[in-house]
Each structure stands twice: as structure tokens, then as C-alpha cells.
Structure 1
Amino acid sequence: MNSLTLINILLTIIIYMGARKLAHRFPSPFTIPILTTTIIMICIFHFSGISYDAYTPAKEWITALLGPATVALAVPLYKNKDIIKQKLMPAIVGLIIGTLSSIVSAVWLSRAFHLSENIQAASAVKAVTTPVAIETVQIIGGDPTLAAALVVASGLFGAIFGPALLTMMNISEPFSRGLSIGTVSHAIGTSQIMGEGPIQGGVSSVAMGAAAIITPVILSVLYQFL
């Protein structure tokens, strides 16, 4: 690891820690740490002249930690295992429908706007966490870098607008809110919905993990017919 990579990693961590403090002091969907950090990092790169290629080694180190971070979400899963067992069958049905809807709608919209096949493939995996999306998109011939960007965009959109949309639709039951966010907004949405309570966070963690498992299976069959 060279000095520039180390500096970029430390800079990202410091900015993220500051963004967490900002979100705690001014709680809002628009102050979620990953959104604030992303905006600040883009501004720093733009005004300092640091290219994305120069930041790539740091990005790869940070991305490598997403796997262990995803596994760590098993903790809220274990703590809420009883309620998850009680509602297992409705959760499975909702998860499958949500995952199918996310994949089909993304691909159909891409085709409706005559976007390239590369974008169509990347959009199909936007609802799963980054490590899974990067591996899965290669199965259907997409670009891993583009897929990662769409994953982040999807997660940010879900984290910012998801809880508000659920509230507008009078969906207040904690289990349902957690399941919805985790299915379509992966880790970013899960980190946001955890602020509502342990049930929402635990169920969202389960939904995120389950979606990551079934998405490659669904895509390997469904994508041939879309």
C-alpha cells in the first residue's frame, strides 16, 4: 500500500466519522453519512485534481471490508430470530416478489429508454449489496464498476426516500418496513432503517442477505427471457 492510498483511506474514514456526527446532530434523510461522505469526497477530488484512478486502490481496500460488514449484520438477525420465525412464510413471499419486481422493472425501464445492454445488466443487480452485485453482474455480462455505482445510487435513494414513502402509504408495522427497505436498498437502506428500531434493522438485515442469495439464482434463469 503506497502513501497516497493510505491517505485516501484515512481521509475517507475521517470524513465518514464527521458525517456520522453531523447526522446525529441534524437527523434527516438528507444527512445520512454515506450521502454526505460521497458528496464531500467528490468535491475534494474535483478541487484537488485527484483522479478516480488514483483513488481506486483505496476504494478496493474499503470495498473488501464490505463482506465482513455484511456478515456482521447477522447480530440483529440473531437478536430478532423469534419474530422472524413467526412471520417467515409471508416474509419469503414478499422477498421473492420484491426481488423479482426490482429486477424486471429495472431491465424493462432500461430497454424502454433504449439504454445499452451493459446498463441493463448493471441495473438488474442494483438492489443487492456491492460485493454480490459485482460478482453477479459478471454472470450476465455487465460492467462491475457500473453495477457498483448503481448499487450505491439505489441504496441512497432507498435510504433517503424509502421510509417516507412507506409512511405515506400508511405502512407502519416494523417488520414490513424492515423487509421492504432491506429487499431493495441493501446495506445503505438497512443502516438508515436501523435508526427506527431493532426489529426494523434486524428484518432489513435478513432481507438484504436473502435478496443477495436469491438474486443470482433468479437472474441466471430470468435474464434469458427479459
Structure 2
Amino acid sequence: MFADVGCQGRISDGGVFKASKLYQQLTENRLGLPTPEELEGCSMQIPYFFAGDSAFALSENLMKPYTGDFPKGTPQRIFNYRLSRGRRIVENAFGISSAVFRVLRKPMLLEPAKAEWVIMTVILLHNYLRKHSPNMYTPFGTLDYEVNGNLTEGSWRNEGDMTSMVPIRNIPRIPTNYCTKVRDEIANYFINNGVLEWQDQYA
């Protein structure tokens, strides 16, 4: 797990990411990601990628949703649904952390350096408890779960809004043709060889 703490809130998520060590290692090919692989039915090798939201720039190793509304059953709509299922893991990590460690639910009246220590401590405790005491820290029903695509939301979502979180600014960017092609290939894979039989019902 990688965490970057301490960037100013006025900077977009994409800007924070570009200023991080993770981004530097990713662009310099020093993360040790597996080499691209063939997906059945695709016309090109598909790189391993991170799942991002609309605040990020589309890149070879970071996929983001298509912008706009698309008819049911279209590759773009299915892709956005499948990507959001992956991003739900991150939502649950933030959600359960803020539900348990209440200090995250409102602005911290601390010096920035001390606030960074608090946040890093929460991250370490979250990972430790998930690894060593999962039944106590996240009993069944705490996190979102799916059965054949039918989502049951975790109890952490009943905690209400957090005043400490601010909306992320979206910054329009023009992706390269290669990155767009990769996303299109993945989208077509999701409706062909990589289809889930129930996905049209929920996308």
C-alpha cells in the first residue's frame, strides 16, 4: 500500500498524484509492474493498471471512466461499471477508517506536520487490524459485498457525511491515442470474453 500525505487541499487529486513518488516510479518504470499481457479477444497486449476516477488523467497504467452518459449495454457503460466495482475497495478502506477513527471525520485543529502523523498512524492501524483482527475490526456487514452483482452496502455508509472531506476538482485532459485504445480494448473485453453474466442488470 502506498500513501501520500500532506499535500494542500486546493490541489486536485491528479495534481497530488503527479507530485508523488509513486507517479515518479510509475513513469520511470520502477514499480515492478508485470509486463503487458494478452487478453482473449483483444487485438493488443493490455498493461496492468490502477483504477482511478475522473479526477485523474488517463494513462497507460491508470484507467479512468468514460465521460458522459451511455445507453445500457454499451461498452463504455459496462467499462465504467466494472471500474467502479474495483474502486469500491478504496471507498471501503476510507469509509471504515473514518468510521472507526473518528478524528478523520472533521477538520483537524493541528499543525500540518502533526496532522500528517495522525493520518499515517491511522493508515498503519487500519492495515494492522485488517490483517490481524479482521473479524473484530470489520465484522460481516461492515464492508460492501456482492452476490452475483447484487450490492449490499456496508454499515460504515450509515455514519453520515464527513465535514473533513472536500469534493475533488476534475481537470479536463486530452489522453494519448494509445491510452484511449487500451481503454477501448478493455471495454470491448468486458462485453465479450470477459463478460459477467449479470453485469447488464446492474450497469
Output the TM-score relative to the length of structure 2. Answer: 0.30
More strand by share: 2
Question: Which of the two has higher C-alpha Rg?
Answer: 2
Q: Which has the higher contact order (CA 8 A, sep 6+)?
A: 2
More helix by share: 1
